[in-house]
């Protein structure tokens, strides 16, 4: 088969596969056709061999096999390829005045315990410095909101509680806080430290093969919600942390970096104000 004939056959195959999606509902059809076009273009661009295709299938299979209720290797794969960050960026309403968002990460666990204003979410012993994160949750016009903040982070050991069942208390460094009537919130925790993403699975092997590092900078996760407003998934990054410039999952936003400095009581504290946009704000489609 000549190169010209092979190219024509590839074009014909693509057209046929695209046509097979015509019976799908509008948005599903758009998603499927887009995926098909880009997958076929990738195969043609890199000249994918059958052996490489098989290796890719094995990689995806092992990614699924290592995933469970606690560990989501596919989210980790998406994170390390920058896809999660891209999705969040395209969905970001910062142009309308919202606090910038970032990746959810693979370690979010629903059902964290409710915690009082100003209380610590540290349950276990931890050698890390104690810090305070405080701020105000408002709408785009500066009005205080009655909001819920679902917060989680890793221990100074570098692991989240869900990664170490039986070693960390399941509620360690997890908590749900609520704002006061003036929109303020305050929580106590340990200073976040850099940590390695899980590197004992297929994603870790991929990073090593590509000569990439596997560290994330120190950060605290926040999922902030309020009635009538879009839920925000974001981080507070420690300005003194390593790996702010080479985060393994491309999640750092400079607007989210904060310094922990002694406050009037001597506690290390950072102020992180949050702005939410109305839930009816239209999503901005890009590209």
Q: What number of other Cβ atoms are within 10 A of residue 11's Cβ?
A: 12
Tell how many helices (H) and how many strands (E) occur in the chain. 6, 12
Say if residue 22 is in the same domain as residue 140: no
3-class SS at 224?
Answer: strand
Q: What is the mean pLDDT of residues 55-71?
A: 94
What is the domain count for the chain? 2
pLDDT digit string (tens) for 96-118? 688 999 999 889 999 999 999 99
Say if residue 196 is in the same domain as residue 124: yes
Say if residue 109 is in the same domain as residue 241: yes
Instruction: Give a yes or no: residue 245 inside a domain.
Output: yes
pLDDT surpassing 50 at residue 95: no
- Domain boundary among the residues 11, 32, 48 is at 48
Say if residue 118 is in the same domain as residue 18: no
Beta strands in 158-231 (DSSP E): 174-178, 184-190, 195-196, 215-216, 219-225
**For tokens 């750092």, what's the residue?**
252
Instruction: Give a yes or no: residue 58 inside a domain.
Output: no
Weakest mean pLDDT among 93-97, 119-123, 229-233: 93-97
Q: What six digits make up the tokens of 267?
A: 């506690």
Instruction: Give a yes or no: residue 116 inside a domain.
Output: yes
Say if residue 109 is in the same domain as residue 184: yes
Any idea what the CATH number is for the domain that residue 220 is in?
2.60.130.10
Q: What is the mean pLDDT of residues 130-142?
A: 97
- What's the domain range around 40? 3-48
Say if residue 17 is in the same domain as residue 117: no
């Amino acid at each position: 088969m000549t190169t010209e004939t092979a190219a024509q056959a590839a074009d014909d195959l693509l057209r046929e596969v695209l046509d097979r999606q015509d019976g799908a509902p509008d948005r599903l059809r758009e998603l499927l056709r887009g995926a098909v076009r880009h997958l076929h273009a990738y195969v043609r661009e890199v000249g994918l061999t059958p052996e490489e295709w098989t290796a890719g299938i094995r990689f995806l299979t092992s990614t699924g096999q290592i995933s469970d209720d606690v560990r989501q290797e596919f989210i980790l794969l998406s994170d390390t390829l920058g896809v999660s960050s891209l999705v969040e960026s395209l969905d970001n309403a910062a142009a309308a005045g919202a606090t910038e968002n970032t990746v959810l990460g693979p370690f979010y666990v629903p059902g964290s315990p409710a915690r009082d204003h100003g209380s610590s979410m540290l349950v276990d012993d931890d050698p890390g410095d104690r810090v305070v994160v405080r701020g105000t949750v408002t709408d785009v016009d500066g009005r205080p909101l009655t909001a819920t903040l679902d917060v989680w982070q890793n221990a100074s050991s570098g692991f989240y509680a869900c990664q170490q069942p039986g070693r960390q208390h399941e509620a360690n460094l997890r908590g749900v806080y609520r704002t006061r009537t003036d929109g303020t919130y305050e929580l106590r925790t340990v200073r976040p430290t850099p940590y390695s993403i899980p590197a004992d699975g297929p994603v870790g092997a991929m990073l090593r093969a590509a000569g990439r590092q596997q560290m994330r900078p120190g950060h605290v996760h926040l999922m902030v919600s309020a009635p009538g407003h879009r839920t925000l998934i974001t981080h507070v990054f420690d300005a003194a942390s390593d790996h702010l410039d080479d985060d393994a999952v491309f999640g750092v936003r400079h607007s989210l970096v904060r310094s922990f400095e002694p406050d009037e009581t001597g506690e290390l504290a950072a102020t992180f104000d949050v702005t939410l946009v109305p839930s009816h704000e239209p999503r901005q489609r890009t590209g």
